[in-house]
Amino acid sequence: MRTEFPDFRLGSVLATSFTGTLSERHGTAVERIPTPQRLIDWLAVYGLAVDSCTTAQLELARKLRESIHAAATAAAIQNALPASAVQVINDRSIQGRAAAILTPDGNRRWQLGSPSRVEDALAVIAADAISIIAGERDGKLALCASPTCQAAFFDTSQSRTRKWCEMNTCGNRQKKARFNANQRKNPKSAE
């Protein structure tokens, strides 16, 4: 019997996509990496294939995820970064073996140590988090406007005024709620 898991919410920014493996943090939380195998699957989607994952490594990953979320949230609202979150991010960053490799077509990919360990992949995610939280990349950290989500995301839109972590989920849900509320206020407008 195969257990069905919620789909991954994939984005173009590794660190904030990783924090999205727990969504609806302020509503009914949805855990997208509930098992070590699901973490392996998520890492593979991002080109960070690992050989195996233990329950302890899954817990390391979740601790990093929550630390990135806490630090990114603080940065988005211009608060001081939580020292404990910074420590976890830094620890994960320095405890991995990964190298950036230039591909023949001019792109970067990550080469993990051999054997490929979860800790190596987490180091790549931590390094990505450091680059966006430190403001080294062109974009702005923001929080999703959905009251049940409030995920940290990296806004690279030209105006830097994006409101939703994902338009296809949180944005559409909010638009639908507004539409339904307007229909209840003005039932004749639907005729």
- pLDDT tens, residue by residue, 46-81: 999 999 999 999 999 999 999 999 999 999 999 999
Closest of 127, 133, 118 to residue 70, by C-alpha: 133
Assigned domain for 56 exists: yes
Statement: residue 1 has pLDDT above 60: no
Average pLDDT, the chain: 88
Q: What is the pLDDT of residues 77-119, one digit of tens each?
A: 999 999 999 999 999 999 999 998 999 999 888 999 888 999 9
> How many domains, the chain?
1
Please report whether residue 165 resides in a domain: no
6 in a structural domain = no
In contact, 126 and 92? CB cutoff 8 Å: yes
- Residue 106 located in a structural domain: yes
55 part of a folded domain: yes
Exposure string over 101-127, b if 16+ CB within 10 A, otherwise e: eeeeeeeeebebeeebbbbbbbbbbbb
CA distance 31 to 142: 21
* C-alpha closest to that of 140 among 78, 70, 64: 78
pLDDT value, residue 59 = 98
Residue 98 φ then ψ, to 5°: -145, 150
In this structure, is residue 172 part of a structural domain? no
User: Domain residues for 52?
Assistant: 14-139
Q: Pick 126 or 150 by higher pLDDT.
A: 126
Query: Which residue type does 113 have?
Result: G
Model confidence, pTM: 0.84
